[in-house]
């Protein structure tokens, strides 16, 4: 069976409706060490591109449990289940709870776990989700629209200092103070409840597009999305749960798009690859920590130039991989 993963098209699988090009596809299959008969957990199904390739590479009897927090992604995954001849399971849920979700599905231990973080093109393109400043829509941005605070709640209710903090740290927005001042002034007049109103006021606060590589509201929207979905907290919890679920020699592969996420992944893998984590001045180990992972990627794996050209989203992708020790 031939597998042309580079194009994202797997010949023996009917093409799925995919509005999302999976990043680092070849690299994911290699670092996950996908093989026939293996059991894999795709913690971020999205448009299913990685799941589809994992199913193909693990044929004829490999199995995948696909998770996503977004019910719309899980609906896509369920359509995919129907075509996967018993080899795919789909569940809705946050990967922070992935160990419990997998155990409830009697899908443990697993040979590989993939986390491809952030937002999918489907979510950016759905007009009513509020992820994109390019589409006028209610300001929501929740991966699971039934759960937690929306971006509207955050923008209208959070204290000025908290908004500045998230724009600085999650958005790396140097003009955070100026933007937040404009938000606070505008919300005094009327609640900011649409993407276009927010994008417009950011643009007026820090100037238009001229001379910038990205839209002036890009960083603000990114910061809000990370805060709304508690993405960094979920990542920490998901990584810890992943180690619990991996079989000996099972692989953990994480693709991040933001330096804060990558730092969390790097530190987590390093710590889990270290026996004692007592402060260096401690004369005798008191922590009792034992390494559970071996780090496989000393530096993050980046997209090739060809992939960067073909898929601009891949430019900021960083993949890190580790293996569960026996
Ligand atoms: C970049 S997309 C994944 C794309 C996918 N690998 C593909 O090939 O189509 C990220 C997906 O992860 C989901 N997601 C993000 N954070 C999550 C979390 N904490 N738990 C579960 N799903 C999450 C999002 O809803 C989104 O669908």
pLDDT digits (tens, 9 = 90+) for 248-262: 999 999 999 999 999
pLDDT score, position 211: 67
Cα end-to-end distance, the chain, whole Å: 32
Does residue 120 have its Cβ closer than 6 Å to ligand 1? yes
Task: Decide whether any atom of ligand 1 lies within 6 Å of the 22 Cβ.
Answer: yes
Buried b (16+ CB within 10 A) or exposed e, 44-78: bbbbbbbbbbbbbbbbeebbbbbbbbbebbbebbe
Token look-up 């509020």 returns: 130
Q: What CA dihedral angle connects 185, 189, 191 and 194, to 10 degrees?
A: -80
- And the tokens for 301? 């794996």
Of 42, 67, 69, 141, best ligand 1 pocket probe by most atoms within 8 Å of the beta carbon? 69
Whole-number average pLDDT of the chain: 92
Residue 321 pLDDT: 98
Report DSSP state, residue 298: S
Contact in structure between 224 and 141 (CB atoms under 8 Å): yes
Per-residue pLDDT at 208 = 73
Q: Best substitution site from 43, 45, 227 to test ligand 1's pocket, by max atoms within 8 Å of Cβ?
A: 45
Beta strands in the chain (DSSP E): 39-42, 63-68, 88-92, 110-116, 246-256, 293-295, 318-324
95 CB near ligand 1 (under 6 Å): yes
Q: What is the pTM of this model?
A: 0.92
Distance in Å, CA 3 to ligand 1 centroid: 24
According to the model, what pLDDT value does residue 210 have? Answer: 67
User: What is the rounded distance in angstroms from the CA atom of residue 151 to the CA atom of residue 229?
Assistant: 9
For ligand 1, say whether the CB of 323 is within 6 Å of any of its atoms: no
- Residue 7's pLDDT is 30
Which residues of the chain fall below pLDDT 70?
1-18, 209-211
pLDDT of residue 253: 98
Residue 130 sits at the vertex; the CA angle it makes with 185 and 210, to the nearest 5 degrees, is 65
d(CA 118, CA 46): 10
User: Residue 213's pLDDT is what?
Assistant: 72
Q: Which atom of ligand 1 is nearest to the CA of 235?
A: 19
Instruction: Report whether residue 143 contacts ligand 1, using a CB cutoff of 6 Å.
Output: yes
- For residue 238, what are the contacts with CB-CB under 8 A and spacing of at least 6? 43, 94, 95, 96, 98, 115
How many residues in total does the chain contain?
A: 326
**Cα distance between residue 199 and residue 137, in whole Å:** 11
97-146 tens-digit pLDDT: 999 999 999 999 999 999 999 999 999 988 899 999 888 999 999 999 99
Per-residue tokens: 299: 């530096």
Kindly state if the Cβ of 92 falls inside 6 Å of ligand 1.
no
Which ligand 1 atom sits nearest the alpha carbon of residue 51? 8
């Amino acid at each position: 069976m031939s597998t042309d993963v580079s194009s994202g098209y797997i010949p023996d699988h009917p093409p799925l409706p995919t509005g999302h090009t999976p990043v680092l596809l070849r690299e994911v299959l290699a670092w996950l060490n996908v093989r026939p008969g293996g059991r894999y957990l795709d913690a971020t199904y999205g448009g299913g591109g990685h799941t589809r390739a994992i199913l193909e590479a693990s044929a004829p009897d490999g199995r995948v449990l696909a998770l996503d927090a977004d019910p719309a992604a899980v609906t896509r995954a369920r359509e995919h289940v129907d075509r996967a001849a018993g080899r795919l399971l789909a569940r809705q849920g946050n990967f922070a709870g992935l160990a419990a979700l997998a155990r409830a599905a009697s899908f443990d231990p697993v040979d590989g776990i993939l986390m491809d973080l952030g937002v999918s093109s489907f979510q950016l393109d759905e007009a009513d989700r509020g992820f994109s400043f390019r589409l006028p829509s209610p300001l929501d941005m929740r991966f699971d629209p039934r759960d937690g605070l929306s971006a509207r709640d955050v923008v209208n209710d959070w204290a000025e200092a908290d908004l500045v903090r998230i724009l600085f740290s999650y958005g790396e927005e140097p003009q955070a103070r100026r933007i937040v001042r404009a938000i606070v002034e505008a919300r005094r007049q009327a609640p900011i409840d649409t993407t276009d109103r927010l994008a417009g006021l950011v643009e007026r606060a820090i100037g238009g597009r001229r001379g910038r590589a990205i839209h002036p509201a890009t960083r603000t929207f990114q910061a809000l999305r990370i805060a709304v979905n508690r993405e960094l907290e979920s990542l920490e919890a998901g990584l810890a749960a992943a180690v619990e679920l991996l079989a000996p020699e099972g692989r953990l592969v994480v693709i991040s798009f933001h330096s804060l996420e990558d730092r969390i992944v790097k530190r987590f893998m390093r710590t889990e690859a270290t026996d004692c984590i007592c402060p260096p001045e401690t004369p005798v180990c008191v922590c009792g920590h034992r390494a559970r992972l071996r780090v496989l990627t000393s530096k993050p794996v980046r997209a090739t130039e060809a992939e960067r050209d073909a898929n601009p989203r891949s430019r900021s992708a960083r993949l890190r991989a580790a293996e569960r020790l026996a």
